[in-house]
């Protein structure tokens, strides 16, 4: 009677490996450390088995990829990630390994000492199969799910046998299954294999096959909570640098307001469609900098790599580079240039004070009323480092915003000069290419703009904005459906970018889809609830829909954050519509004081002054200022249909009737913003006394989706008898929107 081989002194159970406090059960697919089961992905487990089967030997990267993944169009990063997970599970330091040694650019070797006879532990070796197992259990990890499921199926489905002492002598001839049992036995094995394969397949399909990462906004642990700009700025720079690593997919930036840190890591991974997440905490105290970074696996929630850096603050660039290089090595292996590309991208300047000023500028760029403060910080950074291209690109961005968003012609030359300076410093930076794309777009040089946008698209940090820029090019050419599709593609690249939701909202508004536009702006306000410009634009769209009560709430939210001219002007419009012309004029003057370069504000003031007999003689000066500034803007951007229609209105009020008609026809010929242009032109024609043509434009405005309340409440049309005198009269204290209250693009840089 043969004794049980698993009970022999010094021999492990077949199909099991033991080293240190680690036990690996190949058949059961279980790894225990100090007796506790450990969570491990199937692929990582299969890699470990392959290394254990060749203990002491160098196992090449290609050999492991072939054995475990079948080299199914996967990058080497999946292997590096599996090794990193194994090191975490085995508590193995990659710099001082006990179990797995890395042979750079070649492969890996298991260097630990296996307990007992290693040859006897390898499934498939002589005497190494579990009692009753079939050859299916010896299959290579090229199909690990099938092999493991088959082994488990055989163990669980084989007929139970009595202990050896109780077996009868004639049981030997019945040792195998009876002939009639073989079909059922085979079917059970096949079913078990199929179920195991499908379960494993489902688990694998839910995970990204490529090396991928999301960089979360870093958190500050400094006593000064205002230091948040520094921590988040480091994260944004890290994302931009990792985006340049070949073979690594990097998720778009997640604004802190859009991130729920209480969310389970696995859910976050599925939401962002990434395999890993990088997070860090940052503390600055005097001249010291402490960064604790960790890379986590979103499939298991385990930490793949972590390290704390405690250094001089002046070493921030080197620290960032080390973190990026470690992360990249874990995910895609050793970098061909030994991380030199990462070091260059993470050191846009070697002046720490200039870098700090730049990060402060980025924070102010998106803060209420922060554009001028941001500019001051960028200029401070350039004073420290005259070749700091990213700081120069920030100034370019601010000036373009002033030109496009506020129709401020004086800002264009400043924008052009700033953008060209940035290009001379470093034309390859994504933010610089994006700025140049915007510069050429607003000048309607579409071919050049498209070229720069496509270059910027390669940088994930600005990819969403680059796609949005291309969508704006389509919109400028009247290709509205394609433009909407382009904005949706931009949002797919950066789904939590409030600015992109606002861009989509504006395009939907232009297309006459006002309910959809309001929905997009609502989403923007949820993502960026502290942005006064978002609430201002949201309120303008609600006004355009005649939802004045809700619009007032949005405007008050905006004003509570920051008194910006758009909100003050719209509140003036509410007073104007309620018949309080003097109060409206006061609000318009207040808005002009904040932004005297915006011609529309001067036009609003002219309307309020002209409506009041006591101030009518003052209106001409305001309309003259509006016309002059609008003409300067149109000399640079003559494709803005609404601006052309507004200029026609200003010229009509100045008594230049023929010029007004020419501009009116030109605005309609441009073919964009049809509802706004039609309503504005109806106003102009009513002033010129051409009521038949005015009615035709009102019909066109309605056909293009203009809200009836905006037509009925227009005082110019009411005075001309084109709408009933009492139609559209708003409730006391509310007022109704005018044609100039509609939202405009380019609200933020």
Q: What is the pLDDT of residues 525-557, one digit of tens each?
A: 888 887 888 898 899 888 878 788 898 899 988
Q: Which residues contact 100 (CB under 8 A, 6 or more apart)?
A: 51, 83, 86, 87, 90, 92, 108, 109, 110, 111
How far is C-alpha 142 from the geometric centre of its chain's CA atoms?
Answer: 36
User: Long-range contacts for 686-695 (Cβ within 8 Å, ≥24 apart)?
Assistant: 686/716, 686/717, 686/720, 686/722, 687/649, 687/652, 687/653, 687/716, 687/720, 688/652, 688/657, 688/660, 688/661, 691/720, 691/721, 691/722, 694/720, 694/722, 695/722
Provide the 10 A C-beta neighbour count for residue 744: 20
The token pair at 212 is 């991928």
Q: Length of the chain, please?
A: 749
What are the residue ranges in the chain where pLDDT is below 50? 1-13, 117-182, 185-187, 189-209, 728-749
User: Using one digit for the tens of pLDDT, what is the confidence trace for 16-57?
Assistant: 899 999 999 887 788 888 888 887 777 888 899 999 999 999
**The pLDDT value given to residue 301:** 84
Count of beta carbons in the 10 Å neighbourhood of residue 472: 27
The CA-based angle 550-566-596, given to 5 degrees, is 165
Burial of residue 187 (CB within 10 Å: 0-12, 13-18, 19+) is: exposed
The closest alpha carbon to 282, from 334, 244, 236, belongs to 236
In Å, how far are 522, 534, 576, 707 from 509, measured between CA atoms?
13, 15, 24, 12
């Amino acid at each position: 009677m043969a004794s049980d081989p698993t009970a022999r002194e010094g021999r492990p159970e077949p199909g099991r490996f033991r080293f240190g406090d680690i036990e690996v059960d190949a058949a059961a697919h279980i790894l225990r450390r100090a007796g506790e089961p450990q969570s491990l992905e199937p692929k990582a487990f299969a890699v470990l088995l392959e290394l254990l089967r060749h203990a002491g030997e160098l196992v090449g990267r290609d050999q492991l990829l072939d054995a475990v993944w079948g080299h199914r169009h996967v990058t080497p990063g999946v292997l590096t990630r599996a090794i990193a997970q194994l090191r975490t599970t085995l508590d193995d330091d990659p710099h001082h390994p006990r179990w797995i040694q890395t042979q750079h650019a070649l492969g890996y070797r298991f260097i630990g000492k296996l307990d007992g006879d290693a040859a006897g532990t390898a499934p498939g070796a002589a005497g190494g199969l579990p009692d009753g197992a079939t050859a299916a259990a010896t299959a290579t990890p090229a199909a690990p799910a099938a092999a493991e499921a088959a082994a488990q199926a055989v163990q669980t489905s084989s007929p139970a046998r009595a202990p050896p002492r109780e077996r009868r002598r004639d049981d030997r001839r019945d040792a195998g299954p009876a002939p009639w049992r073989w079909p059922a036995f085979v079917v059970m094995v096949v079913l078990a294999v199929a179920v195991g394969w499908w379960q494993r397949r489902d688990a694998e399909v839910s995970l990204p096959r490529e090396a991928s990462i999301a960089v979360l906004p870093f958190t500050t642990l400094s006593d000064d909570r205002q230091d948040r700009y520094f921590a988040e700025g480091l994260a944004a720079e890290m994302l931009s640098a990792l985006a340049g690593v070949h073979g690594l997919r990097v998720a778009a930036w997640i604004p802190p307001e859009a991130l729920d840190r209480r969310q389970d890591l696995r859910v976050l991974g599925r939401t962002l469609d990434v395999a890993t997440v990088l997070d860090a905490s940052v503390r600055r105290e005097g001249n010291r900098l402490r960064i604790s970074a960790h890379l986590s696996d979103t499939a298991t929630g385990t930490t793949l790599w972590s390290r704390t850096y405690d250094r001089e603050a002046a070493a921030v660039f080197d620290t960032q580079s080390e973190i990026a290089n470690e992360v990249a090595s874990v995910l895609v292996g050793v970098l061909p240039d030994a991380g030199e590309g990462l070091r260059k991208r993470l050191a846009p300047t070697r002046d720490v004070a200039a870098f700090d000023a730049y990060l402060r500028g980025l924070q102010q760029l998106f803060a209420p009323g922060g554009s001028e403060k941001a500019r001051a910080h960028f200029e401070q950074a350039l004073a420290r480092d005259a070749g700091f291209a990213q700081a120069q690109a920030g100034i370019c961005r601010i000036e373009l915003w002033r030109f496009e968003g506020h129709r401020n012609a004086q800002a264009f030359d400043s924008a052009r000069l700033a953008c060209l300076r940035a290009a001379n410093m470093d034309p390859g930076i994504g933010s610089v290419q994006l700025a140049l794309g915007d510069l050429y777009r607003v000048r309607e040089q579409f071919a050049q703009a498209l070229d720069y946008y496509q270059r910027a698209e390669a940088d994930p940090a600005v990819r969403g904005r680059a796609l949005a820029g291309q969508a704006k090019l389509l919109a400028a050419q009247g290709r509205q459906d394609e433009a909407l599709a382009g904005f949706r593609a931009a949002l797919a690249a950066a789904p939590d970018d409030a600015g992109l939701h606002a861009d989509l909202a504006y395009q939907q508004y232009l297309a006459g889809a006002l309910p959809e536009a309001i929905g997009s702006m609502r989403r923007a306000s949820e993502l960026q609830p502290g942005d006064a410009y978002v609430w201002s634009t949201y309120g303008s769209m609600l006004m355009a829909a005649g939802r004045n009560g809700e619009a007032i709430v949005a405007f008050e939210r905006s004003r509570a954050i920051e008194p910006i001219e758009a909100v003050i002007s719209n509140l003036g419009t509410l007073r104007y519509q309620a018949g309080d012309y003097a109060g409206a004029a006061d609000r318009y003057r207040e808005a002009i004081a904040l932004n005297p370069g915006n011609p529309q504000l001067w036009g609003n003031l002219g309307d309020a002054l002209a409506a009041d007999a006591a101030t009518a003689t003052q209106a001409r000066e305001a309309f003259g200022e509006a016309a002059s500034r609008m003409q300067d803007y149109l000399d640079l951007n003559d494709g803005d249909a609404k601006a052309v229609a507004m200029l026609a209105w200003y010229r009509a009020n100045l008594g230049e009737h023929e010029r007004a008609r020419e501009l009116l026809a030109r605005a309609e010929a441009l073919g964009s913003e049809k509802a706004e242009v039609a309503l504005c032109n109806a106003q102009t024609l009513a002033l010129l006394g051409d009521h038949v043509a005015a009615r035709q434009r009102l019909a066109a405005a309605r056909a293009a989706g203009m809200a009836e309340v905006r037509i009925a409440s227009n005082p110019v049309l009411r005075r001309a008898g084109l709408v009933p005198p009492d139609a559209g009269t708003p409730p006391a204290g509310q007022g109704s929107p005018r044609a100039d209250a509609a939202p405009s693009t380019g609200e933020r840089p």
